[in-house]
Amino acid sequence: MQIAYRAQDITEAHIVAGLLAANGIEAYVGGHYLQGAMGEIGAAGFSNVHVEDEDLYRARQLIAEYESTNHEYAATEDDDDRPDFYARWFLLVVAVVGLLLFNFY
Residue 12's φ and ψ, nearest 5 degrees, are: -65, -35
Each domain of the chain, given as residue ranges in start order, spans: 2-69
Q: Which of 51-55, 63-67, 68-72, 94-98 has the lowest mean pLDDT?
A: 68-72
Give me the chain's average pLDDT, please: 79
Largest CA distance in the chain: 74
Of 91 and 52, the one with more pLDDT: 52
Q: What CATH number was assigned to the domain covering residues 2-69? A: 3.30.70
DSSP string, 23-72: TT--EEEE-HHHHHTTTTS---S-EEEEE-GGGHHHHHHHHHHHHHHS--
CA dist., res. 68 & res. 84, Å (int): 27
Q: What pLDDT does 28 receive? A: 92
Percentage of the residues of the chain whose pLDDT score is greater than 90: 31
Q: Which of 10-19, 27-36, 40-49, 54-63 has the lowest mean pLDDT?
A: 40-49
